[in-house]
Structure 1
Amino acid sequence: MLGEIGINTFWDFLNYFPRKYIDRSTIKSIGALVEGEDTTIVGEILDTKAEGLSWKKSRFVVYVSDYSGHVLKLIWFYGTAYLKEKFKIGDIIAAHGKVTMFGYEPTMTHPEIDVIKTRDRESENNQNELATVSASDYDLFNAGGIVGFYSTSEKMKQIGLTSKSIRYLMKRLLDEVEKEIPNIFSLEIQAQENLISFAEAYRLIHFPLSQQTLIDAKRTLKWTELFLLQFMFALRYRNQKKKESMFKFVCKQGNDSFEDKLKSVIPYKLTQAQQRAVSEINENMGAGTPMNRLLQGDVGSGKTIVAIHAMMRAVDNGTQCVLMAPTEILATQHFIVIKKLLDQYDLKSALVVGKQTKKLKQEIITGIENGSTQIVVGTHAVLESNVLFHKLGLVIIDEQHRFGVLQRKALQDKALSPHLLIMTATPIPRTLSMTLYGDLDVSVLNEYPTNRKKVITKVLFESERNKVYENIRQEVAKGRQVYVVYPLVEESEKIDLAAAVQEYERLKVEVFPEFTLGLIHVCTTVIEVGIDIPNASIIVIEHAERFGISQLHQLRGRVGRGEEQSYAYLIYCGHISVESKERLNAIESTIDGFKLAEIDFKLRGAGNILGTEQAGRVDALKIANLYEDRELLESARDAAFRLSKEDPQLRTEQNRELRKMYIKFFGRMSELINVG
């Protein structure tokens, strides 16, 4: 039955954690009950009876009394036969529910019940004992204590699984397997990290005895998840550092150095962050082991020129380099920049994309294979089996989250242990970066070129659109260019949004007949990355509420790339949600992509910040939250990297159980991440 919802082992079930908890640990006396409150009582059954003329109209009533001398009436409108067998006069029960007062008579309808024990109603001590009870005195399962509630899908409900039935099954499972759950960490790690035993953590995460025991259980299981994930990265990082590379790139100087020639043609000075990144990359490529580095920077921070520096170091050392981008527009943009900078020198570059004639493609492939072409820029077309490199030493992947794991591996496999530089224009919060790219060295570009001005951003309602049109006319009159972005390409009958094709015609005919307009509709946000037009000074984003923070920030980055003041207008339509308003306000308030990434991380979590490809990398986290548990992540990472040096194979006796657990949960993922 559980297999139908992906629960195939007892570990799968143990890791099906409650989605929320309700604290029912405060027990009130019946005499103190108040209308409308949700509360728990513990009392003795005085009487039971079935009432009604027929089974359709029957109800079952239980009368309960406690030490206060008052009586509580419990009512059910179904299940009379079952309830008659369940409740016996003299039983001690806990009941939790919403109180309704009929006159002075308190009532609960369909309460949660725990039958605590059968007691002798004639006992003189019965009521006196009830006067001093608390939730911790009993094994309260439904009615008292801190009760966990589990998510239940429609499929689960169809096979009879409710939150209550899951609790019963979980208790039965724990009773059977708790003794088999080993302590996976050494006593030293447990003491250092303030962890409780693994078995105790699973018992208390499902059936906490108090708020503190729930905190302790969550901390232990979260830390364990993060540790295992980080240990996987630690091994990956360690293994990379042990590899030998065919290519140990050294600095070459003089007239034959393309790196020196590049410095002479760049018309501006690199920022300190760019200089630092170039230095880190050069150090990696000269170390004798394959470089695996992430270059992350905000829009406009100058990642491309840093990558070109790395290319020149590779070419100076007699090897080829390839830069793979996710779209033809972005690949073409990179290719134009490279040719513009380097065509005056004896350096041959080539663009490999899907839409090329057979003759041209063959000429390009021949040049790559015989080594006469040193720099290759392309889309996934460079992955084709007939694209063979003469001596590939450096692989650069731009916006890598848009490529699949196997695509990235296919490119790396075109050489023997090449250096790898991954670039992303999506700023990533540090905690997320540690989880997504925990096995990579990281360079961060957090500065902007000095000639750039801050883009002025305004959030406007659709009724203010004409003001934007006037600003557009003023900017175009100065010789500037403008982007207008829409969320849909064609009109949809289901979604009433402006469509790029129709709006293009409207703007061309009705609004700006005096201007020349062009339409890009490979996809509506194809300009999100890669388009570099310094002359563009305005971007208008229609239905901005439909875009995420990262998209809006990337789109805004298409302007402000020259020396003139630029503007971004975010136009929203109709009533928008609170979260949408938060996103727009965030974009309006700052141009710092790293601050925006933190806001996005807080609003949405890790799942969609970088798309589904990256979300898959954190699927192993069932309970830890990367935003909320940043301190635990730091601690777990330190411990994991430390242990990977001390006992990388987890062969010592004290780490034997940890090795079993690591292989059980992360063996397959560990293999996959080797191509990540």
Structure 2
Amino acid sequence: MRGELEKNLLSLEKPLKFASKDNFSNLDRMAGLGVTVRNSCTKVLTSGPPAEIKTQITALRDSFSDFERLGRREKRKKISSALRIVHKAISFSEEKAHENVLPEKRTRAQVPEKKPHPGADAFSPSVTRLRGVGSRVGRLLAKKSIHTVYDLLFYSPRKYDDRRKIVSISEATPEEFCTVRGTVASVGDIRNRKRRFFQVVIYDGTGKLRLTWFNYNSSYLRGVFRKGMSFIIHGKVSVAPGGRALQIIHPLAQDIEIIESEKDIGNPLQFGRIVPVYPLTEGLRQKKLREAVRNALDIHAQDFKGLIPKDIQEKNDLMDLPEALEQVHFPPGDVLPVDLDDPGSVADSRAHRTVIFFEFFVLQLGLFSKKRKVDESRGISFNSSDALPEKLFRSLPFALTRAQEKVVSEIKADMVSPRPMNRLLQGDVGSGKTLVALASMLRAVESGYQAALMVPTEILAEQHFRNMRQMTQNIGVTVVLLKSALSKVDKSRVHEEIKTGQADIVVGTHALISESVDFKALGFVVIDEQHRFGVVQRAELVRKATVPDVLVMTATPIPRTLAITVYGDLEVSIIDELPPSRKKVETFVLRDTQKNRTWFYDQVKKKLEQGRQAYFVYPFIEESENQDFKRVRHVTKMVEELREEFSEFRVSLLHGRMKSEERDMVMGDFLAKRCDILVSTTVIEVGVDVPNATEIVIENAERFGLSQLHQMRGRVGRGGHESTCYVVYSFASGEDSGERLKIMGKTSDGFRISEFDLANRGPGEFMGTKQSGVPSFNFANLIRDSALLGESRNSARKLMGKVDNYKEYEKLFTHVAEKWGEMLELDTSS
């Protein structure tokens, strides 16, 4: 597709696709999607579309006018409808383009050979082009995010089964792992005097083996196992009660593979070797997936040859990438199976180290490429004068901490430099990040530029606006607030102040990226809690300036391994010291028993009687349909229980399905002390300061990550009063949860907690991969493979240091752009 219209249609499609991706998992963090869609629709309409498209896009733009006020279900419907309209418009536009071009008649010999994009043979072909992968299997693979040959070749097995030797049941040794083949003799529920359980008995002519489940879904297991079917099973054999029969307790689905026909037994991909066991989706079989991987390796593995430069390969003792890909999927017969849960076992596998290194290496090249592009741009060289920041500091009733002073100096050095600043500011809850950001914004104002602060919620914007206006009232700086809820007259006035330069500092939500907002001289951009904004929203704000300095702030302390992966293109500043006035929040980690509940209810009541306020936080909005979560408490039920328990106090409800105006109203009432108890989901995690709130009860704490718990604990202790956090975990979750949560009672250091959390839960759960832009790897694991991450980063840095022209490594950098171009906003055309 060519031309302005097609380009603008694709720009309109991009945020809608991102929002709908992975069953709309990105939707909740895409603040300002309605504004973005309306702006993109306007661009389409100004590029001269045909009448058919114009009518549809105009209606689409109008339909998104109330998008931010809709509930989640309505938003999903609207996005799906919008995507259908956009896809039709793109198809219509393409058809028109073809109609207008009459190709010359050519003989077969005259048709020029189409040259593929460098690396396209390896990375671009759809997986459905492989033999045996039709549209049905293609759809199943897509559910596991396998769309291309590259996706398939880098799809990591969950584990490996050693099928070089399948033993008979009579040869199975108790208390050892083994692999046996058997036929189902009986299936059913069994009840004895003590308990009920489900049992499948298999036989192989030499003996019988029982498979036993105590926690189970009977109808599901009956659907899986049928009398007469054969399968292979791998597991730890034990002796059943009574001392005669052998059994495997709770075998996992991934350890059982059905034999569809006797031909499978002689299949060298399935038996007589170490075989990969992949994560599956319903309808997809291991056999089919192994065959697809085998075909992909046979046809495309050599396309990856030379992607790791020879000197880097030798220095890091790596294999050639095609050979490594072969061995991580189908290990040779003379090695031990790699245990992917054992860092030592993975480190001993040269093939695994090679593929893991390559995954890290490609991302680091992308991050360094992005950083180089910024470093080579000409930015703003701000004045080195400290007049306005010093006025601010002198007006404060307290002194900056040493950590704050250090970070102020780091940011100043960046701002004075002619290169654009791109810096991440990390700081624990209450460490004073906003004050540091304000001082930096004042330096921009002193140099004749405007500064903007974008935050995820309107009530948070109002809080920052009030605080900044109060702190700058005697400095002669104008701070304005821009949010969607302003009246038409007020919005018009603020727009004019921004356009004429009367507004020095603009605080706002996604309303800042509206097409109607025109800055006179935006030079400094601060983005607070950036993972709550999509790539599109952040980029749109930055584009409102020529080449602004950008400061990204986060209150979630990020461990180094994750920081160099997620924010590897940014310089990092850390405020690792709390102001002396910030009181430690006393924390109790409690099992959910009636005795404990009576105690912490009484403690909260005492504080409420003293005029303080409290939060009660729960993981779910309503009862889950999932049987595993039936005992998890939810706000819909608990708000009624708490109104009864605390009948003399005012109890309000807050959750993510409420419209934004309703949420802001509830939070405003809590801030204004018109409410004593706020019953909420995690929407309070990033919220306003309520100095009078001193108590927070977090129930079913086992459902949250430690860093998330630490963020929620930070909602109290903000007003100088003694504060308390009650971390309550369910009895049903067992001892492990209690042990994991104990660190909350031992430390208030967010960085220490985040390291512990990352090690326990992994990067995806730690930050919410789908929510925050954490790169997802297939073979690589940030915790297990942290040493390889460091080595790959050093190698990428050295390569970038000697690369003047990307042509020298064209195939490699083409792959970098295809893999990470969209996420890192790389210029894929170059």
**Shared fold by TM > 0.5?**
yes
Pairing 1:341–2:464 present? no
- Tell me, yes or no, if the aligned pair for 1:537 and 1:566 is still in contact at 8 Å: yes
Pair 1:369 & 2:525 matched? no
Residue 265, structure 1, aligned to residue 395, structure 2: yes
Q: 1:197 aligns with which of 302, 320, 324?
A: 320
CA distance in 1, matches of 2:286, 2:745: 43
Q: 1:222: Cα distance to partner?
A: 0.5
Instruction: Confirm whether residue 351 of structure 1 aligns to residue 481 of structure 2.
Output: yes
2:485 is aligned with 1:331: no
The counterpart of 1:224, out of the listed 352, 358, 365, is 358
Q: Which amino acid aligns with 2:305?
A: P
Cα distance 1:640–1:541, how it changes in 2: closer, same or farther (>3 A)?
Answer: same
SS at match of 1:350: strand
Look up the equivalent residue of 1:250 and give its one-letter code: N
Larger Rg belongs to: 1
Aligned-pair distance for 1:651? 3.0
The count of corresponding residues between Structure 1 and Structure 2 is 591
Partner residue in 2 for 1:471: 603
CA distance in 2, matches of 1:384, 1:423: 22
**What secondary structure is seen at the aligned counterpart in 2 of 1:622?**
coil
Question: Is the CA contact 1:540–1:570 (under 8 Å) kept in the aligned structure 2?
Answer: yes
Task: Please report how far the alpha carbon of residue 503 of structure 1 lies from its aligned counterpart in structure 2 after TM superposition.
Answer: 5.2
Q: 2:157, 2:278 within 8 Å by CA — same for their partners in 1?
A: yes
Q: Deviations over 1:497-529 (max 9, x none)?
A: 66657755665665352x566665526434322
Distance in 1 separating the partners of 2:702 and 2:203: 53
Aligned-pair distance for 1:391? Answer: 1.2
Amino acid at match of 1:322: A
One-letter identity of the residue aligned with 1:148: P
Question: Following superposition of structure 1 onto structure 2, how do residues 654-673 of structure 1 map, counting pairs within 5 Å?
Answer: 655=809, 657-671=811-825
Task: Say which SS state the counterpart of residue 602 (structure 1) adopts.
Answer: helix
8 Å contact 1:538–1:566 — kept in the other structure?
yes
Q: Aligned Cα RMSD in Å?
A: 3.9
Partner of 1:540: 697
* Of 600, 610, 616, the match for 1:484: 616
SS in 1 for 2:568: coil
Residue 277 of structure 1 is matched in structure 2 by 407
What's the CA shift for 1:148? 1.5
2:336 to 207, 211, 220: 211
Q: Do residues 586 (structure 1) and 743 (structure 2) align?
A: yes
Structure-to-structure mapping, 1:568-607, within 5 angstroms: 568-573=725-730, 575-576=732-733, 580-607=737-764
Residue 610 of structure 1: aligned partner: 767
Q: Show the counterpart of 2:138.
A: 3
What SS class does the counterpart of residue 760 from structure 2 fall into? Answer: helix
- Give yes or no for the alignment of 1:434 onto 2:560: no
Report the Cα distance in structure 1 between the residues aligned to 2:264 and 2:532, rounded to whole angstroms: 56
Partner of 2:280: 152
Distance 1:15 1:448, change over 3 A: same
The answer to which of 628-637 and 568-577 deviates more is 568-577
> Given that residues 535 and 823 in structure 2 are in contact (C-alpha distance below 8 angstroms), is that contact kept between their aligned partners in structure 1?
no
Q: After the TM superposition, which of the residue ranges 457-466 and 389-398 deviates more from structure 2?
A: 457-466
Partner SS for 1:607: helix
The residue number in structure 1 matching 2:540 is: 410
Of 136, 154, 158 in structure 2, the residue corresponding to residue 15 of structure 1 is 154
Gaps of 5+ in 1: 42-58, 64-76, 81-94, 104-108, 118-138, 157-161
Alignment match of 1:549 (pick from 706, 709, 724)? 706
- What amino acid is the match of 1:18? P
State the distance in 1 between where 2:459 and 2:742 align: 30
The Cα shift of 1:60 comes to 13
Counterpart residue number, 1:126: none
**Structure 1 residues 544, 239: CA separation in 2 closer, same or farther (over 3 Å shift)?**
same
1:645 aligns with 2:801: yes
Structure 1 stretch 634-643 or stretch 579-588: which is displaced more?
579-588
Deviates more, 1:432-441 or 1:139-148: 139-148
SS in 2 for 1:623: coil
1:445 and 2:584 aligned: no
CA distance in 1, matches of 2:381, 2:281: 55
Amino acid in the other structure paired with 1:151: P
CA distance in 1, matches of 2:645, 2:408: 50
How far apart are residue 373 of structure 1 and its match?
1.5
Partner SS for 2:614: strand
Superposition deviation, residue 319 in structure 1: 1.2
Q: Percent sequence identity over matched residues?
A: 40
CA deviations over 1:329-359 (Å, ceiling 9, x no partner): 2111111211221113322111112222222
SS in 1 for 2:572: strand
Distance in 2 (CA, whole Å) between partners of 1:367 and 1:154 is 57
Change (3 A) 1:164 1:453: same
Q: Measure, in 1, the Cα distance between the counterparts of 2:467 and 2:757.
A: 31
AA partner of residue 698 (structure 2)? I
| Amino acid corresponding to residue 599 of structure 1 in structure 2 | F
TM-superposition CA deviations, 1:550-579 (whole Å, max 9, x none): 332111112222444321012345522566
Match of 1:121 in 2: none
Q: Secondary structure at the match of 1:605?
A: helix
Q: CA deviation at 1:360?
A: 1.8
What is the alpha-carbon distance in structure 2 between the residues aligned to residue 603 and residue 173 of structure 1? 35
Q: Answer whether contact 1:25 1:40 (CA < 8 A) is retained.
A: no
| Matched AA of 1:227 | F
The amino acid that maps onto 2:603 is N
Give the distance between the partners of 2:237 and 2:464, measured in 1 at CA.
Answer: 69
Equivalent position of 1:456 in the other structure: 586
Instruction: State the TM-score, normalized to the length of structure 2.
Output: 0.64
User: In the alignment, which residue of structure 1 is the partner of 2:75?
Assistant: none
- In the TM superposition, residue 153 of structure 1 has moved relative to its aligned partner by 1.4
1:373 aligned counterpart, secondary structure: coil
Q: Tell me the residue number matched to 2:28.
A: none
Name the counterpart of 1:421.
551
Q: AA paired with 1:327? A: T
Amino acid at match of 2:557: P
The one-letter code matched in structure 2 to 1:224 is F
TM-score, normalised via structure 1 length? 0.78
- TM-superposed CA distance for 1:313, in Å, is 0.7
Q: Deviations over 1:197-256 (max 9, x none)?
A: 1121011111212138971111000000100000000011111111111x3112225xxx
Amino acid at match of 2:358: T
Greater helix fraction, Structure 1 or Structure 2: 2
Q: Secondary structure at the match of 2:782?
A: coil
Using the TM superposition, give the Cα deviation of residue 143 of structure 1 relative to its aligned residue in structure 2, in angstroms: 3.9
State how 1:291-302 maps to structure 2 within 5 Å.
291-302=421-432
Counterpart code for 2:749: D
Q: Which amino acid aligns with 1:426?
A: T
Distance 1:551 1:110 in 2: 41
Say whether 1:629 aligns with 2:785.
Answer: yes
Q: 1:164 to 1:485 in 2, by over 3 A?
A: closer
Extract unaligned runs of 5+ from structure 2: 1-133, 181-201, 207-226, 245-256, 339-345, 656-662, 664-679
Deviation for aligned residue 1:145? 4.0
Whether contact under 8 Å (2:613, 2:695) holds in the other structure is yes
Describe the superposition over 1:461-484 as per-residue Cα deviations: whole angstroms up to 9, x where unpaired.
252233223323443455544333
Give me the whole-angstrom Cα distance separating, in 2, the residues matched to 1:530 and 1:115: 58
After TM superposition, list the pairs within 5 Å mapping 1:82-121 onto structure 2. none
Secondary structure of the 2:368 match is helix
The yes-or-no answer on 1:237 pairing with 2:371 is yes
Structure 2 counterpart of 1:248, from 381, 384, 388:
381
Query: Offset at 1:586?
Result: 3.3
Aligned to 2:684: 527
- Structure 1, 432-441 or 205-214: larger mean CA deviation: 205-214
Residue 342 of structure 2 is matched in structure 1 by none
